[in-house]
Amino acid sequence: MSSLEHAASQALAMMDLTSLNDDDDEGAIRALCRRTDTPYGAPAAVCLYPAFIDAADRELTAMGIRDRVRIATVTNFPDGSVNVERACRETRAAVAAGADEVDVVFPYKALIGGDAESGRALVSACRDACGDRLLKVILETGELKDPALIRQAADIALECGADFLKTSTGKVATNATLEAAEILLGAIRDSGRDVGFKAAGGIRSSDDAKAYLDLAAGIMGEAWLTPAHFRFGASGLLDALLATLSGDDTQPTRGGY
């Protein structure tokens, strides 16, 4: 197995196969779930809007892989409101509906404006609302832009109980970048906490995935690279990984998140 094939195999197991489109319906979510059953194993999770948690649960259960594929959803999404009550209400509802993981958007616009306390309040409250479910905090690094602001957001999320730091919503002009990933991984390393990292948005090729995995291995160590610590939020990436693993890199990839 080549180094690229090895990276593709790793990345597939670490994917949150994502559909967060305005026109999603139950049929689209069932189709998304069916894509998780590949000849090379299943991704870690599907990620979808809260309205489709039940549909995903039913489809994955019918496929016999619900115990292997987790269900992730999004809250306070995509705007990153400072409304703590709204974020908590959505998070509690997502957990009650059966989500295994909640990706909540950090109030990044408030932080840009100099308000760090809203971020602390919202992440802390959503941590409580999540209970024993995984809380991923979306920092929207492409909008924060300034490395110091990205690091500040990461440190706040870590201090307030995030289980994962996630780069982006996939809904802005600049989503995951290696530069932002390096800052978030450095914050995780420096915190000494058992926290994961999720790169989301714009990762569409096996080479892209390998670059992120190589970066994480250099900062956190090769043994850290497991689905418990590293995720890719993507849709089109799956086709690219399957093409690499099958030896057919001529296959087109799907666009999207």
First and final C-alpha spacing in the chain: 28
Q: Which of 103, 136, 208, 210 is catalytic?
A: 103
The residue among 84, 78, 80, 67 whose CA lies nearest residue 108 is 80
Q: Burial-class residue 36 by CB neighbours within 10 Å (0-12, 13-18, 19+).
A: buried
Beta-carbon contacts of 149 under 8 Å, excluding residues fewer than 6 positions away, are 111, 112
Q: Distances in Å between the alpha carbon of 189 and those of 56, 90, 143, 186, 254?
A: 34, 30, 23, 5, 34
Q: Which of 163, 198, 208, 210 is catalytic?
A: 198
Residue 231 bridge partners (DSSP): 198
Q: Is 109 a catalytic residue?
A: no
Q: Is 198 a catalytic residue?
A: yes
CB 174 within 8 A of CB 140: no
Peptide bond into 227 cis (omega under 30): no
Cα torsion 110, 170, 178, 123 to 10°: value is 40
Q: Which of 100, 136, 163, 166 is catalytic?
A: 166
Give me the active site residues, please.
103, 166, 198
